[in-house]
Structure 1
Amino acid sequence: MNIPSRLPIIDLHCDLLVYLTDVPGSAPDKVEEIGCALPALTEGNLKLQVMAIYSAAEPGSTHYAGLQRDMFKQLAEEENNCLKAVTDVESLQEAIQSESSVGMVAAIENAAGFCEEVEPLEDGFKKLEKIITDCGRILYISLTHHTANRFGGGNMTQSGITRDGKMLLDYLHGRRIAVDFSHTSDALAHDILTHIDRERLDIPVIASHSNFRPVWEHNRNLPDEVTQEIIHRKGLIGINFLRAFLNTEEPEALLHHIRYGLSKGAQDAICFGADYFYTADNPDLNRIPFYYKEHEQAGTSYNYILNRLKEDVPQEQLKKLAFRNAQQFIERIWS
């Protein structure tokens, strides 16, 4: 018997906002262009989709993020689409139970989106507050992306945290916003955890769209020590669907990553972070295909994965993977 097709899904990361603000002729219903188009989200029974606001660390980063902030607000206010902003525990629970809508919440993928490299940090915090106000809520912040910025080292670097990075963590204390480890260098991950502990900061931790480095050696994947810290701190680990982070020759690798996470104690942490984005203009031809066919769009991928796991993963664990772990995490940090 198949996993019920209507099992709710929560996914921690997609780049629909980047696509809609950056690609000429883009539209939220173009399933042929992006795996998280609205028809695919509806078909896949997404009950909460985290919408990343992404910027590279370069001049104009906050303007670029501002366009995505405004797009989030526009989507939330449109009456003729299925998206509904989720900003508190009550609206999250309504989204999980809804038969006709897809909940969405914003997140910031790279703190360069609210603070340019050369502007006063205080001005950056004001821009962060505007993003939070306009979007109603943000679920998490990634300090960096692939490269280094004023806050620390991205996953293509070996740099750790900076003074501004520590000040950002201090700013997040008690704000009920998680810090995301998916794009940290190993040194930055270590430094974030050390600063949180040293200063006794109340900051939840997650890896929104990362897999496991012992399964596939890639600096975007989590080393075991970071995995264990996230589990110990009752965080989340969202499994990423991109071929480059799974195994470039093995379509079954996504299942291997999930099973590995479960074997390492992530039963209450593991969830989905598919990382769907617009790939047609990506210059790295070595990454084509970006997704294995089984994982290339939200309408079918989640149910495919759950059905492949059902023979050796208990039904209750599949529910945790699909939505319950993420739901309980969000309810806990927002309450």
Structure 2
Amino acid sequence: MPHTTRLPIIDLHCDLLVYLTDVPNADMNKIEEIGCAVPALTEGNVKLQVMAIYTATEIGSTRYAALQSEMFKELAQRDNCLTAVTDTADLQKALQSEGIGMIAAVENAAGFCEESEPLEEGFKRLEKIIDDCGRLLYISLTHHTGNRFGGGNMTTQGITTDGRMLLDYLHGRRICVDLSHTSDALAHDILTHIDTERLDIPIIASHSNFRPVWAHNRNLPDELTQEVIRRKGLIGMNFLRAFLNTSDPDAVLQHIYYGLEKGAGDCLCFGADYFYFLDSTDKERFPYYFTAHEQAGTSYTYILDQLKERLSKAQLEKLAYSNARQFIERLWA
């Protein structure tokens, strides 16, 4: 099969910052250790990579997140191919340059507010993260477990009073709320509060697939997919085997086709979710990725090449970069 012309790629989620701050002797150039290593991003023609600031909900979570926001700031200041993208002019430059643009995001609001401290202190830390990174694309209120803001995707808990207060705080700030790690109940409560209070908060699912294709709590049920579509958000296709289909290497294609059938043609993009797993004790999840999706240097081209027979050039461009580009341009206008 002939290769797709190398389209620029925008990807909504990776954990390079976690790797660089948490793994001894971490090196952003080690492709053998993390799929979003800089050489892999370059080879894959990734022009804009969202860098997640991830923390578990535990004592010390805010210090852990602070190290990552400081790492983002350091990377942006180094003389290398990584450049912080904080406005639409930066975005256009990144898409046309030889380097890699990057935007920060918060994966779990525990990163700026621990469980037992005043919420006002958390908002101050959030402002410090924004100052370090120049801008945040999105915030996920939770991760797998619940926290003071609501229920994670492995719970049935909905939103809390603090979760509503966080949404009120985000009104008009041009920071998206990410549904990829919410419980279904929390996602519905978020949408209800936004609508009831008429809040200006965009909604995305940065690295989630479709639950009717593969039944996993990390994937979107149809009603949430339709809400993201209705609100003109984004849905980033996740490359992790556990969220695709543990036995079918081509399942990512089925998720993409399903999204198109459901009307998500203007929402679909990539959210590969590359992270460091060599120290993982959860052997049941090995291999974390199918061989074709192991690293950014080859995965996007492989997927786009497979899609060529059924999708038009315009559809491929939307998936690769233009949906995400247009969304960010509207967000930051």
- 1:55 and 2:74 are equivalent in the alignment: no
Q: CA deviation at 1:2?
A: 2.6
Aligned to 1:4: 5
Structure 1 letter corresponding to 2:63 = H
* TM-score, scaled to structure 2: 0.99
Pick the aligned partner of 2:180 from 179, 182, 189: 182
Hey, what's the Cα distance between the residues in 2 that align with 1:208 and 1:93?
Answer: 21
Q: Out of 195, 198, 205, which is 2:193 matched to?
A: 195
Report 1:8-27 matches (<5 A). Answer: 8-27=8-27
Counterpart of 1:136 in structure 2 is 134
Post-superposition offset of 1:282: 1.4
Cα distance in 1 for partners of 2:312, 2:259 equals 15
Partner AA of 1:234 in structure 2? K
* Cα distance, 1:32 vs structure 2: 0.2
Matched residue, 2:33: 33
Task: Select the residue among 239, 242, 260 that pairs with 1:241.
Answer: 239
Q: Unpaired segments of 5 or more residues in structure 2?
A: none
- Give the % identical residues: 73
Q: Cα deviation per residue 1:29-71 (whole Å; 9 max; x = unaligned)?
A: 0000000000000000001000000011100000000000010
Task: Indicate the SS of the match to 1:48.
Answer: strand
The letter of the residue matching 1:124 is: G
Q: AA paired with 2:5?
A: P
Q: Which runs of 4+ in 1 moved over 3 A?
A: none
CA–CA distance in 2 between the matches of 1:283 and 1:224?
33
Q: Quick one: distance in 2 between partners of 1:146 and 1:283?
A: 17
User: How far apart are residue 25 of structure 1 and its match?
Assistant: 1.0
Report deviation, 1:241. Answer: 0.1
The one-letter code matched in structure 2 to 1:77 is Q
What letter corresponds to residue 53 of structure 1 in structure 2? I
| Equivalent runs, 1:60-139 vs 2, <5 Å | 60-79=60-79, 81-98=80-97, 100-139=98-137
Shift of 1:75: 0.4
Give the counterpart letter for 2:67 in structure 1.
L
Superposition deviation, residue 150 in structure 1: 0.2
Deviation at 1:147, TM superposition (A): 0.1
- Partners in 2 of 1:152 and 1:281 — Cα distance? 29
Residue 249 of structure 2, aligned match among 251, 254, 267: 251
RMSD: 0.5
Distance 2:41 2:300 in 1: 10
Count of aligned pairs between the two proteins: 332
Find the counterpart in structure 1 of residue 212 from structure 2.
Answer: 214
Structure 2 match to 1:304: 302
User: Partners of 2:25 and 2:10 in 1: how far apart?
Assistant: 28
Task: Give TM-score, length-normalised by structure 1.
Answer: 0.99
Which stretches in structure 1 are left out of the alignment for 5+ residues? Answer: none
Report the Cα offset of residue 3 of structure 1. Answer: 1.2
TM superposition shift of 1:283 = 1.5
For 1:270, the aligned partner's letter is: L
Cα distance in structure 2, aligned partners of 1:325 and 1:163: 34
- For residue 134 of structure 1, report the CA deviation from its aligned partner: 0.9
- Secondary structure of the 1:132 match is helix
In the alignment, the residues of structure 1 paired with residue 199 and residue 141 of structure 2 have an alpha-carbon distance, to the nearest angstrom, of 16
Distance 1:116 1:26 in 2: 27
Q: Indicate the residue corresponding to 1:264 in structure 2.
A: 262
CA distance in 2: counterparts of 1:186 and 1:72, whole angstroms: 31
Q: CA deviation at 1:281?
A: 1.1
User: SS at the partner of 2:193?
Assistant: helix
